[in-house]
Amino acid sequence: MAIDQESRESMHSDLKTKKHKTHPWEKFFQGIEITLYILRWFLQMIYYLCEDVFRFFFPRQLKSVEKEIVLITGTGHGIGKELAFKYAQAGAIVVGWDFNKENNENTFKEINEKYGKRGHPYTCDVSNLEDIKATAKKVSEEVGDVTILIANAGILYCRQVQDYTPMEMKKIIDTNVMQLLWLIHVYFPIMVKNSYGHIVGISSVTGLYASRNMLPYSCSKYAVRGIMEALREEIRADKSNKVKTTVIYPYMVNTGMIKVSRSRFQHFLKMLEPEDVAEGIIAAQRTEMEEVSIPGIWRVVNNVVRILPRKAIKRLIDLLDAGVEPDPIDSF
């Protein structure tokens, strides 16, 4: 038995050696194959660059959102509120989730008075999976299947690293990151089943460039970027999947969450108004853009700057000197 076992092991070793022997011609042809693939990729890259330049001057036509059911989180104020108004104005049925019941109901009272019965407010803690599931069930029964999902709700505390409490850091991650994961968990299978849907994740310029005095927030927005990129790859791998995705990177927005901002060039790097950001988000969704920064220059700068040496990037950050200061001590 021992001899048989040794023989088998020897034969197995010989087979492995033969199996891994590569003929010189195989390497040659594989080299040609790699070269052809790189050449094809290079030509595709030139085509896509030309396409991007063309689309910059001649954007795609806006898709109609009439009769779409648009779920927006964080509709009690700021960007979410503006999004709710603009989608209702465009003819969509708007479902708004917010933790603040009073603010949310006031938003939809205005919408329904102005545009007819197009709005449906729901009170929901988007950091809680069970609350999301329960609210999603109500929406399905009372309104219908959501076709456009915009995970907009978010929170921000501006602190130096050592001044954050564990609860503040957890709240930022739960609201900004887990919200998106839970919403995808609940709504993505429905959209796949219906072969129709669009998911929009709201990241931030701090998801492109980390900034001081907002470490957990910047971390959360990098996570949103990663989630949306991973989701896009999941969809791309399944040719039958018709769900669309968009990720947005807005610059600092005047929603009240940032108490003190700074910028060396105030006229060029001023805070954005929620209405303008909402307009950019809707345009990106309705033209099915996969990635958009607001203003658009930030994504371009990020793509170019990332190939530079790290020290050069640091000098550019110092030159712009744009970001936030820690919140006043009395707001802690």
* All domains in the chain, ordered by first residue: 69-331 (3.40.50.720)
Long-range contacts of the stretch 98-103 (C-beta < 8 A, 24+): 98/73, 98/74, 98/123, 98/124, 98/153, 99/123, 99/124, 99/125, 99/126, 99/153, 100/76, 103/76, 103/77
Does residue 22 surpass a pLDDT of 70? Answer: no
Percent of the chain whose pLDDT exceeds 70: 92
Residue 11's pLDDT is what?
Answer: 54
Buried b (16+ CB within 10 A) or exposed e, 243-273: bbbbbbbbbbbbbebbeebebeeeeebeebe
Percent of the chain whose pLDDT exceeds 90: 62
Round to whole Å and give the CA distance between 227 and 234.
11
Over range 208-215, report the average pLDDT. Answer: 89
Round to whole Å and give the CA distance between 179 and 176.
6
Residue 55's pLDDT is what?
Answer: 76
Does residue 52 surpass a pLDDT of 60? Answer: yes
Using left for φ > 0, alpha for ψ between -120 and 50, and beta otherwise, residue 116 falls in left
Residue 9's pLDDT is what?
Answer: 58
Over range 38-54, report the average pLDDT. Answer: 86
- What tokens appear for 157 in the block? 């505390």
Q: Which position has the higher pLDDT, 193 or 47?
A: 193
Does residue 1 surpass a pLDDT of 50? Answer: no
- The 10 Å Cβ neighbour count of residue 95 is 28
Residue 17's pLDDT is what?
Answer: 52
pLDDT tens, 241-272?
999 999 999 999 988 888 877 777 777 778 89
Crossing angle of the two packed helices 297-305 and 310-320, in degrees rounded to 10:
150
Round to whole Å and give the CA distance between 7 and 273.
77
Question: How remote is the C-alpha of 62 from its chain's centroid?
Answer: 20
Helices (H), the chain: 2-20, 24-57, 78-89, 101-115, 129-142, 166-173, 179-194, 215-237, 274-286, 297-305, 310-320
Lowest mean pLDDT among 16-20, 63-67, 152-156, 228-232: 16-20
**Residues with catalytic roles:** 217
Over range 56-62, report the average pLDDT. Answer: 80
**Model pTM?**
0.85
Over range 190-209, report the average pLDDT. Answer: 95
Over range 134-159, report the average pLDDT. Answer: 96
Does residue 117 surpass a pLDDT of 60? Answer: yes
Round to whole Å and give the CA distance between 32 and 38.
10
Angle subtended at Cα 239 by Cα 234 and Cα 243, rounded to the nearest 5 degrees: 60
244-250 vs 261-262, strand pairing mode: unpaired
Does residue 281 surpass a pLDDT of 70? Answer: yes
pLDDT tens, 67-95?
899 999 999 999 999 999 999 999 999 99
Over range 15-36, report the average pLDDT. Answer: 72
Q: What is the rounded end-to-end Cα distance, in angstroms, of the chain?
A: 76
Over range 166-182, report the average pLDDT. Answer: 96
Q: Which position has the higher pLDDT, 20 or 79?
A: 79
- What tokens appear for 216 in the block? 């957990």
Q: Which position has the higher pLDDT, 327 or 96?
A: 96
Per-residue pLDDT band at 51 (split at 50, 70, 90):
confident
Environment class of 281 (CB within 10 Å of its CB; exposed 0-12, middle 13-18, buried 19+):
buried
Does residue 186 surpass a pLDDT of 70? Answer: yes
Q: What is the mean pLDDT of the chain?
A: 89
Over range 189-194, report the average pLDDT. Answer: 96
Per-residue pLDDT band at 2 (split at 50, 70, 90):
very low
Over range 104-109, report the average pLDDT. Answer: 96
Lowest mean pLDDT among 157-166, 217-226, 266-275, 284-293: 266-275
